[in-house]
Structures are given as structure tokens and as C-alpha cells.
Amino acid sequence: MSIDLAQFHRTFFEECFEGVDLMERDLLRMGADARGETVHAVFRAAHSIKGGAATFGFAAIASFTHHMETLLDQMRSGMRPISDPAVDLLLRATDALRGLLVSARDGVPLDTVRVVEAQTALEAFLGQAPAATASPAAPAVSAEQVFLIKFAPAPELFRSGNDPLLILRELAALGDLETRMSLDGLPSFAECEAESCYLAWSLRLRTAHSRADVQDVFAWVEGACELDISVEAAALQSPAPTVVVAASQAARGGDHAPADGGSIRVGTEKIDALMNLVGELIITQAMLAQLAGNLDPVLNEKLLAGLSQLDRNTRLLQEAVMSTRMLPIDSVFSRFPRLIRDLAAKLGKQARLTTVGEATELDKSVIEKISDPLNHLVRNSLDHGIELPDARRSAGKDAVGTVTLKAAHQGDDIIVEVCDDGHGLDRRRILAKAGEQGIACSESMSDAEVWQLIFAPGFSTAEQVTDVSGRGVGMDVVKKNIAALGGSVELHSIAGRGSRTVIRLPLTLAILDGMSVGVSGEIFILPLSSVIESLQPQAEQVKRMAHQGTVVRVRNEYLPLVDLREWFGLSGKSHPLHQAIAVIVESDGRKLALQVDELVGQQQVVIKSLEANYRRIRGVSGATILGDGRVSLILDVGAIVRQFSQVQAA
């Protein structure tokens, strides 16, 4: 029987990358928390990757991980102390292992220099005599015990790419193994299927390994077998004969109960397709609701009640499907302990990372796009914010600086903050640099306006260019990327105490809370998060100013007035200015008044890509389908504000 194992590669690589992430996370904890369980968890992850790679024929990965596993085994057994050099070496090896996995998965060229250097360093380190541990006495070696194992694979075990023989060989590697095969489930020859497993085993294993290590051997077949592991009351004095040879089998870390089917892996493309279908359902439901508005409520009572129930169920279905796309932001936050550790060492600084609200969930599409902006902000906090240890001590601070990542829900938005307890932003230095670089600024600007200068393209306060900063590319990219997500970013700082960057993001990029406005018979959608208020100005509130166009006075503040009819070149005649409706919107700290004919209402809309289905339009971020079947454009308030400002400046 021949089974194509390539069909299982996707799951294998997903498991491996999860294991690598776990290894990196726990290795970073080893310095401060050297408890045995942390070392065991890293060892089991390495053991899992090595065994899986051997099973699926990735010999280079299995060979490389074997060296990591050996070092971790020495550390967990007490033969070698947990030290910073050992952790540093394992972190370097983890980077090389990730490269090996990416190369094997994607077929891209491998950075062989990094892999060879890491493997050579591991071999050299393992060749050194272990240093004496700082503990008074070395941990005692676990006493031998005997495990009785009943292992009955499910008939479909072979179809998942697993082989019971490999499992038995791995068990034999843990100690002395005695096997007894059961043929009770074997059918007649005529009823046998070549790809089904009918055998079962009763096993007796004498080993010094823990129950968790024994159960790890069966990790890849959990849910596809009947398994019972118990400890024999009294071990026999003579060792049982070994009947198979040693080999490796994939195992995953952690003590765990047999799988209960509580979760499954589903491709993101299936979730996206489901989300699109729910979006179409919401549009259809809106159409029905609009048609129902013309029906007699007395004659059509049952129909209207059914439509009302459909509306509730549709919203519940929408929320349920959206929840499947939600991921905890910890998947992003967990990437930064390594960055903090490596960058602080490069800069000669000491820093720690704290996180708050890492369980906060947001849409997968937002998660994927927020990582890069956060990376820039964290690097800036370390490079420009956190002081050198001596400077911090002189200021009466802890020599170790703190960078904090926070996340929290606020209405339909998520707030992400990057804080540091460094020296804060230097107002005079920022103004001086802005002046040198030809950026418009003045001493009369408020602190908030001065901080916004940092987001100007090409702006940098660094004295010299390094591989960390100084090129003036970063903060402007941060702002553009966040704006592309429909979010906003603002800076706060207190001299000598630190700075705080606040990012406001939508929970999802698929659904939008919007305000519908009418212009020349067309319906446009304004993102509700950008709308401040709407009003009908009096004649004395509207002025025409030289070189400024039309402005409207709102509580002693003069705002530019943009007629959407003229902006989009629509036909028809505009209402007199004092009879029109002005919707006040804000983006990047700047306000505009948009002139419209009427306010239609507020509603949730399903966002459709206009560029993918038609082409890019100035001032438009997407489109949606209304209840009557018409297409409505969703306005990009930020783009309108920026473009109008450029027109005024010209």
C-alpha cells in the first residue's frame, strides 16, 4: 500500500510553525522563569517537529532539530544549566529552523549560511563539558516505572498518513518495550480493505520517562485511536525484551486529554467565502425589508412578522460568522518580546515588554495589517524613547525601561496603544528638525500639532542613519497604513515620563456603520466613525473668503464647505447654501463640512471592493448595495480631506 503524504504537508507545516512560535515564546521566558515545565514545553515542541519531519521525509529539518532537542534534553534533565548563552543559541537556532521550514514549505532558496552557522554553534556547544549548576544538588533522575498501554488504531488511521510501526519504534526508544498483537478485529480475507487498519496492541513499557513523554508519542493519532495508559502496580525485576528498533515519530507538547473534537482547522478562504455569502444575505434581507415597508401591516401581519424574525436571525448569523474571523491580538503582541530583547541588546539598553488586553479580538484582516505599524512604533520606543541605563539611573528611574502594548474594545472600534516610560518627545528638537527639513511649523503650534509633524514624510530627529532608524521612513508609513485600515493615530507625551501612541481601528473591514446621505438623487455612505454632526446652517453662518472658497461657521470655528455635487461632477442644481445640509466630518485632526441634499439614515452596510469590480475613483473607498438594489458609493473621508487641503494649498 502506498500513501501520498504530500496531502498532509499543509497540516504538518501549520503544526511546525505553531511549535516554533511556542519555542521562541518560552525560550524568552527562560531567563526569568527557569521552571522545569517551561523547558519541558520547549523540548516537546522540538521533539514534535523532529519526529514529524522524519515521518514526512524532511531529513534536513529532522537532523537540525535533533541538535536542538539534545541541548534541551540536557537542560531539562539538569545535566546542563539554563544559561543566557544557551538560550541565545537556541533562539538563533529557532530562527534557522523557521527558515528551513519556510524553504521546505514554499520551495524558496534557503539561507544556508545561517543554518550552517547555527548547527555548527550547536555542535560546538554540545561538545563543551556542561558547567556546574548553581543549584545545591542536581535534580534526581526519575525512577523507572512500567506503563501498560492499550493501543487500538481506528480503521482509517493509514489514510491520515500515520503508521503504527513508527509509533512502536518511538516507544521502544523510551525504554524496554514488550508488545502483544491482537487480531480480534481482523475480518475475513474477502472483507479486508488494503487501506484500513484492523490490528491492536497491548504494550508494556519500562522507562524512566514521564507519563507525559509516553503520551506525547501518540499525539499525532489522538482522535484516531482508542488509547489507555496506566502504571503497573509493581514493576518486574527483569527487563522485558525489546522487539522493535528505535525511530522517531511526531509528538506535540503538553499534557492533554484525548481529543474531544472541540475544534477543527478551516481554510481562511472558506471563511471569506462564507462571509461574502452572509453579506449577500444581508443585502437581500434589506431589499425585502424595503419592499415590506409598502405593505399593509394589517393584511400582511404574518409576512411582516416573518420578515422581522428573518432580520434578527440574519444579524445573529452575521455576528456568528464574523466571530469566526476574530483572532486575539496576542497573535501580534507575541512577536515583540523577541524584538525587544534583540534590539535592546543592539542599542546597549535594557528593556522589558508588558502587555495588557492581549485577549482582545479583532478581524483577521486587520490583524494581518496592524503588525507592521506596531513594529515601527515599538522600534521607535526603544530607539528614541527608552534611555540608556546610566541616563535612567541619573533621572531616578529603573535602569530597565518598559514598553507597554495595550488593546481594548471601545464601541465598534479597537484601541491599541504603544507606551514607553522613556524621556518623551522633545518639542523644541522636533520644531527645529521640521524647520531644517522645510516642513511648515511655528512656535505657536499646540503640542498635539507638533507631535503630528513626526508623521511627515522623510521626517527624522536621528543624528545619524543606522540600521534601526534615521532614514525618515517609518512613522509616515505607520500613518498611511493605519489610515488605509480606516483607522487613526495620535501621539501623547510628557517630558521625562514617556510617550504614548494611540491607534483607533475598526473591528472588521467587511462591515461598516454608515450614514446615508442624498446628493442629486444619488445615495452616498459616510463612515459613521468620521461623522461629528450634521446641521442646516443659517445664511449668516456661510461666507465666501478670498482664496479660501466657501466656509461655514460652526461654534466660532470656520470650516471649509465641500459641495459633493461639484466634487463628483453630478448633474442638477445645488440648493442655496443656507438651505443645504452640512455634515461635519473629521480626519487626521482636520475638519470639513460636506454639503448634501438630505440625510437618509444610519445603517450597517457590507463593503464591496469598487477597484476590483470597476476602477479606483477619487474620494471613494468602496461600494455597497442598497435595499432597492442600487449601488451606493462609500466615501473615503480621509482622502477627501487630504485632496481638498492640497487644492487649497495650490
Q: Which residue has the higher pLDDT, 400 or 603?
A: 400
Residue 128: its pLDDT value, please? Answer: 79
Position 524 confidence tier, pLDDT thresholds 50, 70, 90:
very high
Tell me, which fold does domain 145-231 have in CATH? Answer: Alpha-Beta Plaits (3.30.70)
Of all residues in the chain, what percent carry a pLDDT higher than 70?
Answer: 86
CB 48 within 8 A of CB 11: no
220 vs 160: CA distance, rounded Å: 9
Q: Does domain 511-649 have CATH number 2.40.50.180?
A: yes
Residue 463: its pLDDT value, please? Answer: 60
For 39-62, the pLDDT digits (tens) are: 888 888 888 888 788 777 788 898
DSSP 608: B
For 194-226, the pLDDT digits (tens) are: 778 888 899 999 988 888 778 878 876 777 788
The three grid cell numbers given for residue 266, joined into one nine-digit string: 478551516
Residues 6+ apart with CB under 8 A from 197: 153, 154, 155, 156, 157, 158, 164
Mean pLDDT computed over 476-481? 83
Among candidates 272, 469, 487, 459, which has minimal Cα distance to 369?
Answer: 487
Q: Are strands 200-207 and 175-182 parallel, antiparallel or unpaired?
A: antiparallel
406 vs 481: CA distance, rounded Å: 19
Most confident of the following: 57-66, 153-162, 469-478: 57-66
For 501, phi then psi, to 5°, come to: -110, 125
**How many CB atoms are located within 10 Å of the residue 23 CB?**
28
Domain made up of 5-127: CATH architecture:
Up-down Bundle (1.20)
551 vs 573: CA distance, rounded Å: 19
Among candidates 506, 227, 491, which has minimal Cα distance to 385?
Answer: 491
446 vs 129: CA distance, rounded Å: 63
Position 420 confidence tier, pLDDT thresholds 50, 70, 90:
very high
Q: Are strands 531-535 and 581-587 parallel, antiparallel or unpaired?
A: antiparallel
The three grid cell numbers given for residue 346, joined into one nine-digit string: 543592539
Per CATH, 5-127 and 511-649 having the same topology is answered: no
Which stretches of 382-477 are assigned E, i.e. beta strand? 401-410, 413-420
In this predicted structure, the answer to whether residue 473 has a pLDDT above a threshold of 60 is: no
Q: What is the mean pLDDT of the chain?
A: 80
Name which of 107-111, 312-316, 507-511, 526-530 the model is least confident about. 507-511
Name which of 26-40, 244-258, 262-276, 395-409 the model is least confident about. 244-258
Residue 350: its pLDDT value, please? Answer: 92
The three grid cell numbers given for residue 568, joined into one nine-digit string: 463628483
For 241-253, the pLDDT digits (tens) are: 333 432 333 333 3
Position 29 confidence tier, pLDDT thresholds 50, 70, 90:
confident
List, as one string, the DSSP characters of 240-307. Answer: PPP-S---------S--PPP-S------HHHHHHHHHHHHHHHHHHHHHHHHHTTS-TTTTHHHHHHH
For 541-573, the pLDDT digits (tens) are: 888 876 667 888 888 888 888 888 888 888 877
Q: Which residue has the higher pLDDT, 616 or 229?
A: 229
In this predicted structure, the answer to whether residue 295 has a pLDDT above a threshold of 50 is: yes
Mean pLDDT computed over 466-474? 53
pTM exceeds 0.75 for this model: no
| CATH superfamily to which 328-506 belongs | Histidine kinase-like ATPase, C-terminal domain (3.30.565.10)
226 vs 206: CA distance, rounded Å: 21
Domain edges within the chain: 5-127, 145-231, 268-325, 328-506, 511-649
Q: Which residue has the higher pLDDT, 169 or 124?
A: 124
627 vs 514: CA distance, rounded Å: 14
Residue 100: its pLDDT value, please? Answer: 92
**End-to-end alpha-carbon separation of the chain, Å?**
75
User: Apex CA 635: angle with CA 630 and CA 637, to 5°?
Assistant: 165
645 vs 650: CA distance, rounded Å: 9
Among candidates 553, 551, 534, 542, which has minimal Cα distance to 599?
Answer: 534
Q: CA 435 from chain center: how many Å?
A: 38
For 573-587, the pLDDT digits (tens) are: 777 776 789 999 987
